[in-house]
Amino acid sequence: MKISELLKEKATISFEVFPPKNKEGDISSIYYTIEELAKLDPDFISVTYGAGGSSKGKTVEIASAIKNKYQIESVAHLSCITSTKEDILTECRALKEHNVDNILSLRGDYPAGEEEKYRGMDLEFHYASELNGFIRENFGDSFCLSGACYPEVHQEADCFRDDLEALKKKVDAGAEYLITQIFFDNSYYYRLVKEARKIGIDVPILAGIMPVTNAKSLLRTAKLCGCSIPFQLSTMIETYYNYPEAMKEIGINYAAHQIIDLITNGVDGIHIYTMNKPEIAQRIFGNIPTVLKELNHD
């Protein structure tokens, strides 16, 4: 089923997982993660795509298992910056063969340390909007496409307005809903939605929430994603930096508070970056079961 169809009926709750990284290339631990997340009855689970296509076979395999073995809708992330058109055709055909109907269509980033190599090359794709166009051209409407968006502006964009105009192009090229980059201050999400609507971006915008349960990783992730840390949260981090259990409680409760506020304000959907830690998602759900029901999700 296409996620765009689901979004016509209700605001969704979804999770993101990534193919486990280990030397042996063994991904079996993901199945425990999915089984635990399945207990929370999500509307869909998305699977990331490693930078430079490093996890491509695994993304298809995991997205297929979510859909065919666990009977949960799945979304396969697919990035294009280092891909040829032939690579994309191969990837999309594999997704079709496995009945995966949904693609989160991304530009992606160059693999770390290989920026110079790619900058000198004649790339076949430059933006996610081109990937959308290419998939539509070759597969018609058979996939539901979605895209990424950035409440605090994509790091390479000069300003909010330019990024918003680029987002409009991505939607016009076929993105049927959007998922945000993480943010810790909901005002950025509300600004994005308000300004997007003004320029005719009227597809659902799902809020990407990351419960960060470790001070070091919170600071690293925020820097990587270009997202700001509100004063209140940074004070908590400073105070509890050396208390991992307290940081976990803070991360879970902060995310739960963000979600309550978003639901109160009519969010189109909540997408939780689980970091393959289902117990954290379970604890968030355990804290706010009734609020989540308000999202038509019982």
Q: 49, 177, 189, 285: which one contacts ligand FAD (CB under 6 A)?
A: 49
**For residues 86 and 134, what is the distance between their CA atoms, to the nearest angstrom?**
11
Name the segment binding ligand FAD (CB under 6 A); options: 4-12, 104-112, 236-244, 286-294.
104-112
Specify the residue, 206 or 236, whose C-beta has the smaller distance to ligand FAD.
Answer: 206
Q: 4, 64, 132, 181: which one contacts ligand FAD (CB under 6 A)?
A: 181
The amino acid that residue 263 corresponds to is I
67 forms part of the interface with ligand FAD (CB under 6 A): no
Which residue matches tokens 């605090």? 152
Residue ranges of E strands in the chain: 12-17, 44-47, 73-79, 102-106, 144-149, 177-180, 205-209, 269-273
210 forms part of the interface with ligand FAD (CB under 6 A): no
106 forms part of the interface with ligand FAD (CB under 6 A): yes
Q: Could you say which of 5, 9, 16, 195 is catalytic? A: 16
Specify the residue, 92 or 104, whose C-beta has the smaller distance to ligand FAD.
Answer: 104
Contacts of 257 (CB under 8 A, 6+ apart): none
> Is 124 designated active site?
no
**For residues 70 and 35, what is the distance between their CA atoms, to the nearest angstrom?**
8
**DSSP code of residue 53:** G
Q: 157, 219, 246, 291: which one contacts ligand FAD (CB under 6 A)?
A: 157
Specify the residue, 103 or 292, whose C-beta has the smaller distance to ligand FAD.
Answer: 103
**For residues 91 and 209, what is the distance between their CA atoms, to the nearest angstrom?**
28
**For residues 150 and 183, what is the distance between their CA atoms, to the nearest angstrom?**
9
Q: 64, 79, 213, 276: which one contacts ligand FAD (CB under 6 A)?
A: 79
* Residues lying near ligand FAD in the complex (CB under 6 A): 48-49, 51, 77, 79, 104, 106-109, 127-129, 148, 154, 156-157, 162-163, 166, 169-170, 179, 181, 208
